[in-house]
Each structure stands twice: as structure tokens, then as C-alpha cells.
Chain A
Amino acid sequence: MIKFTLNGRTVETDAPATARLLDLLRDEFELIGTKEGCGEGECGACSVFVNNLLQNSCLIPIGSIVGADIQTIEGIIETEQFKILDESYSIAGGVQCGYCIPGMIMASAALLSENPHPSEAEIREGISGNLCRCTGYNMIVEAINLAAKKGDGL
């Protein structure tokens, strides 16, 4: 049995150690906010926090997260930071089809937690591992910029 913390709750699974965290989240824990895009670590749609660090859940064998603290998009939805990001993405028009957005929000949150007032270049670097095929990124960058101003340190 593999035991870890998922969105604040201790969970365990008897899935094989090589199972991808992404599949476990979606299929066993029914947390379908985390998306699969490329499945190769290039698109960031499956981004989660592992011990507060942004990582691609499609590349994580669950045997390597024993005892770790995992947070998904569902786990951060109640935070002030999420609320500000949510609002800012709406105002800036940062969401079109929406598929990349859970990953984008995770990357945005990771960036703002580490660097509450990023420059445009730092914002682009922060989301450089996330692909969006609709927006052309400018509205997402604007959304993060707006969130940084509104959140002011969150």
C-alpha cells in the first residue's frame, strides 16, 4: 500500500508503484480537474503540487511519492489566492476552451507564491511549461499580472 496526503487528507492505494499519479488522481480519486494533455511532460495540463512544488503528474510514478503532500486544483480552490486568480482570469479573458486552465492556475499559483510581484518575463517563464492552444498566452499573462496586483503578496 502506498500512503500519501492528498488535498490535506491521508489516503492510500494499492495501485502499482509505477502507476502515474495523473491516472490515480483521475481514475481512483475522481479528481478530474487535473488533465492529461501530452502525457510526456511538455504541456503542463497535469500540473500538481508535490510538497508545494509544481510538478507534472504524468511523469510521477506513485511509488516515488510515499509520504508526500499532494495538492491538486481541487485542493487549492478554497484559497484566497485561487479566488483572486479565478477572478483575474475571468476579467482578462484568459480562458477559452479551458483545458489547459487547471494546469495554468497551478503554475500561476506556484509562481505567485514564490514571487508575488513577477515581471512579465518572469510570468512567461513561470508558465513556460504550460501549453495553451487558444489564447496565444497574452490574456493569461495579463491575468497573472492582474492577480499579482490584486493579491499583493498572496
Chain B
Amino acid sequence: MIEKITAYRFERLDETLSQLNREDCAIIAGGTDVMVLHKSRRGVPPKIPKPIVFINHLSELKQVYQHHKDLHIGACCTYSELLENPLIPFALKNAIKTIAAPAIRNRGTLGGNICNASPAGDMLPLLYVYNAKLLLRSVNGDRMVAISDFIQGPRQVQRFHNEMVTEIILPFVLGDSHVVFDKVGNRNADAIAKVSFAGFVRISKDRIDDIRFAFGAVGPTMVRSIDIEKKLVGKTIPLADADIAEIVAAFDKIIRPIDDQRSTAAYRKTVALHLLRYFLSMKQYQPN
């Protein structure tokens, strides 16, 4: 039996938003997550329970530009497009090179990775440490949301059905900053993370001006604690062993991973704390 499927593909963003305003739809950008999530038998189209709107052809969602020094990234930029774009920071590009493999990077989009809201979403720890904001657009206008407020839990985001994430905004970062991304999986390419970690630090002379960490795949959403980060601001590097131990102990309390088919809670926690300790040792980069 052939089931009827309703799908839309408009030439313009405004027409797409009008349709979203009329009807609750599943939005498909690259499809790399949706197609797996709703996969059925061979030869049978995935069963997606809502009408579908395709958006990955919309050029309005592929712009990358600077505005008041902030970097605006169109939600439908694929990873490959980001790698080729001169405006994307090197730290982000280095991380993207470790994500997926060429074929998926040619298809998966930054907006899709965010809206899929997987606890193991590869770009999420990085976007958290960049304090990324999302521009949500609807027929009623625009609103801006911090990524940490937008993502509420596994596959849960704070998006009304008439809205679409159209841009990811990376706020301007002062001075020299170092960004690190680590991912632990069964395979270098195309693996879903067992644990991931992003660290961000800005140092002037030997003093830490700003430091941020986010852990992926060890909780329902990314684990980040601004309170813990604040404890390190103003300290000089190299950090004292006692300072490192205090920060690691603080995260030990708030990181509560689970056992699943990919890894165990104990492994995830141990590795997450090791990655943190390694980052705090500041061996991953050479301060000026």
C-alpha cells in the first residue's frame, strides 16, 4: 500500500515560512539525521509522521557574513561549505575536519545538527563554548536565543512550529583565544561520540581572561557550568595542581553519563574528566 506523503519545496524562504505558519511540518535540511531516525525496510521510504518541508536548496540559508564583528552563519551551510569559507575561524574548521567523513560533510548542515539536538551532536560542545546564538525566523518576525536555552533535551528544542533556525551567530571574541575540540568514538570517521569536549581559553600574558568548557554525550544536553568556569578567571598559567583538581572535582559532581550501546557511564565520565584535565594542563596549545 502506498501511503500519501505531503512534501513542500518552495523557491523562497518567505514562502517556506508561510507554509510553516499554516501547518506543523518536519523540516529537512541535509536529511542525514532525519532519514536514519525514520528509516524503514529496504525499498520503503522512511515514515515521517508530519508533512515535510525541504529547505537545503534555499540560498537565503547559505549566507555567511560578518555583522558588527559577529559572525553569522546560514543554517543550511554544509560542513564542507564551512571548511571552504574564509570567514569561519580556524579552530572551528579544525574541529569540523574531525567530524563525519567527506560524504556526510557534503550533506549535513550546521542548523540540522543543532535542531536534531542529539546529546552527542558533534558541533554542540563547540557552539556552547562560542556562546552561539540562534536566529529564529517566522512570519511574525525574528527572535534570538542562546543555544543553551534553545536545546532543552534529547531531540527537544525550543522552536515553535512556525519558526525556523535561519542563522547561527558566533559573537565576536576579543583578542587571542584558543579553542580545542576532542571527540572519542569507535572510529575516527562517521562515529557517534562516546564523549566529546570543547574548551575555549583567552589569555593575556599569563592571566586567564576567559575560559569555557562544554562536554557532549555525557548527559541529556551539553554539560557546561559558568560558575565553575568563573573560578579560573584571573588565575595565572600554568595552573596549580590544586586548582586543576578543584575544577575536575566540580565537574565530577555534575557529569552524570549513562550506559548505552555505545559506551558505559564509567568510561564516559573517566574520559571526560581526563580531557578536562588535559585541557587545563594547557599542553594542547602554545600560548603566545
Residues of chain B within 8 A of A47, CB atoms compared = 103
* B240 is an interface residue with CB less than 8 A from chain A: no
Q: Beyond the given A47-B103, A53-B106, could you list 7 further A-B residue pairs with CB under 8 A, ordered by the A residue number?
A: A54-B103, A58-B35, A59-B30, A60-B107, A61-B28, A61-B54, A64-B54
Question: CB-nearest residue of chain A relative to B78?
Answer: A53
Within 8 A of B (CB), among A86-125: 107, 110-111, 125
Which A-B residue pairs are the 9 nearest by beta carbons? Answer: A129-B101, A17-B7, A128-B189, A53-B106, A18-B45, A16-B5, A19-B45, A128-B101, A54-B103
Q: Does B100 contact A (CB under 8 A)?
A: yes
Give the Cβ gap from A100 to chain B, nearest Cβ, in Å. Answer: 13
Query: Would you call B36 and A40 a contact (CB within 8 A)?
Result: yes
Which of A20, A36, A64 is the one whose CB lies under 8 Å from B28?
A64
Interface of B is mostly: loop
**Which B positions have Cβ atoms within 8 angstroms of A?**
2-3, 5, 7, 9, 28, 30-32, 34-36, 38-39, 42-46, 48, 52, 54, 56-57, 80, 100-104, 106-107, 188-190
Say yes or no: A128 contacts B102, CB within 8 Å.
Answer: yes
Question: Interface range on chain A: under 10, 10 to 19, 20 to 34, or 35 or more?
Answer: 35 or more
Q: Is the CB of A56 within 8 A of B107?
A: yes
Q: Which residues of B contact A66 (CB under 8 A)?
A: 9, 57
Kindly state whether residue A44 has any CB partner on chain B within 8 Å.
Answer: yes
Residues of B within 8 A of A27 (CB): 43
**Chain A: which residue is nearest B7 at the CB level?**
A17
Q: Mark A34-54, 1 if CB is under 8 A from B, else 0.
A: 001001111010010010011
| Residue with the highest number of chain A CB atoms closer than 10 Å, among B39, B80, B101 | B101
* Chain B contacts for A56, CB-based, 8 A: 32, 103-104, 107
Chain A residues proximal to chain B, CB less than 8 Å: 15-20, 23, 27, 36, 39-42, 44, 47, 50, 53-56, 58-61, 63-64, 66, 107, 110-111, 125-126, 128-130
Task: Tell me, rounded to whole Å, the shortest Cβ–Cβ distance linking A89 to chain B.
Answer: 19
Q: Closest CB-CB distance, A47 to chain B, in whole Å?
A: 6
CB pair B39 A40 closer than 8 Å:
yes
Residues in A whose Cβ lies below 8 Å from that of B28: 61, 63-64
Distance in angstroms from A83 CB to nearest chain B CB is 23
B12 to chain A, nearest CB (A): 15
Q: Name 28 A/B residue pairs within 8 A (Cβ), A-sorted.
A: A15-B45, A16-B5, A18-B5, A18-B52, A40-B36, A41-B32, A42-B190, A44-B103, A50-B106, A53-B106, A54-B103, A59-B30, A59-B31, A59-B32, A59-B35, A59-B107, A61-B28, A63-B7, A63-B28, A63-B54, A64-B9, A64-B28, A66-B57, A111-B102, A128-B101, A128-B189, A129-B101, A130-B101
- Give the distance to chain A from B195, nearest Cβ to Cβ, in Å: 19
Question: What residues of chain B lie closer than 8 Å to A53, measured between beta carbons?
Answer: 80, 106
Task: Determine which of A17, A42, A60 lies in contact with B5 in the assembled complex, contact meaning CB atoms within 8 Å.
Answer: A17
Say whether B102 contacts A64, CB under 8 Å: no
Tell me which of B32, B45, B107 contacts A20 (CB under 8 A). B45
Question: Whole-angstrom distance from the CB of A118 to the nearest CB of chain B?
Answer: 12
- A54's partner among B32, B38, B102 (CB-CB below 8 A) is B102
Residues of B within 8 A of A50 (CB): 106-107
Bound: A56/B105 CA distance, A: 10
